[in-house]
Amino acid sequence: MGNRSASESAAAAWIARRESGQWSEGDQRAFDSWIADSLDNRVAWLRLSTSWEATDRLKVLRSGVPTGTVPKPEEMQSPFFTRAHVKTAPNESSRPLPRRLQLSKAGVRALAASVLVLCAAGLAWKLFPSNPAYETDVGALEAVPLSDGSRVTLNTDTSIKVDLTPHERGVNLARGEAFFEVAKDPTRPFVVHVGDKRIVAVGTQFSVRRDTDGVRVFVTEGVVRVEQSEPGEASRSIAQLHPGAIAHAAADGVIIQTKPVAEVEQLLTWRTGYLVFDHTPLGEAITEFNRYTRHKIVIVDPQVAAIPIGGNFRTTSVEAFLRLVESDFPVVASEQDDRIVLSGAPSSPK
């Protein structure tokens, strides 16, 4: 919390200095060094400078112009404190202000910075909500940049809620699958919450998929820890995953496979809108395709489900995929109610 507060205070001071009209080349060099020093500084500057611009556009609210009228240009130049804001009696215009109302230039700048922080806190809450939620429809993909520099790619029919705090960068995966590219920040672990499981990382790349029978984690970079959460107890580590690991965490334990990273990347080609199969049983391929369509496909013949297939297919091209299957294999696709049924083609008479 201290780092973020210090960054926001410093950002407010930089804005106050810039608005004072006394900005120098030395100030610019010092500012460039400060902005490059940390991600907290850059985020604080973005938030406060955006909020400052917003408040600057709203100066008309404190210019004394009646509500509902368009101010004249000279009426929009009102600073925070001017003598125009102080009512004086006739013949008293030259009377000095009471001592308690007199402010030095430094005092005005400090007060302006304080007001700025308060304004920014309210506006930043609207511009940068602390708990944003994102979701995708069936068949859709969406890439979401987070304010800490991380990036999340949401797969079909996915819902997440983000909760970035000074101590933890949390994401709750309510349903679906998401790929995380985590910005490094050793002071704030990145934690994906999925039911009673926690997937913990610092700076890494991995995918988390929530299924009815558990959680699947695919790691392509860095180290990821899988933890078990129990009500009223501290979380305990149940697996540590390295690049190439595929873990299936269920209620009764964790199964871990280790593959070449290239093979794991192939399982994550949905990020580009494609599904890649290599000697994959048709039943498994159909299970994947069903995630991207509301018009579900059903296989009624076990022999059809076992047919191995391969190739690259667009996640949105289900009909084209079925036409290829029918043309290359003894399979018939038929519409039945609100679903597509795959069965074996009748044998040709000899």
Q: What are the helix and strand counts (H, E) for the chain?
A: 8, 18
pLDDT at 112: 55
Question: Is 69 found in the same domain as 13?
Answer: yes
Does 76 map to a domain? yes
Question: Is 261 found in the same domain as 141?
Answer: yes
State the amino acid at position 276 in one-letter form.
V
Give the range of the structural domain holding residue 225, as residue numbers without chain letter: 133-265
pLDDT at 129: 52
Question: CA-to-CA distance for 216 and 94, rounded, in angstroms?
Answer: 76
* Tokens at 189, concatenated: 């672990």
- Alpha carbon 228 to chain centroid, angstroms: 24
State the amino acid at position 263 in one-letter form.
E
Question: CA-to-CA distance for 77 and 251, rounded, in angstroms?
Answer: 65
pLDDT at 128: 47
Does 103 map to a domain? yes
Mean pLDDT by 10 residues, the chain (350 residues): 67 76 79 81 75 50 43 44 39 44 50 54 48 93 93 97 93 97 93 95 94 94 92 85 96 93 95 94 95 94 94 91 92 91 77
pLDDT at 208: 98
**Structural domain count, the chain:** 3
Residue labelled with tokens 């809450």: 125
- Alpha carbon 16 to chain centroid, angstroms: 31
Does 349 map to a domain? no
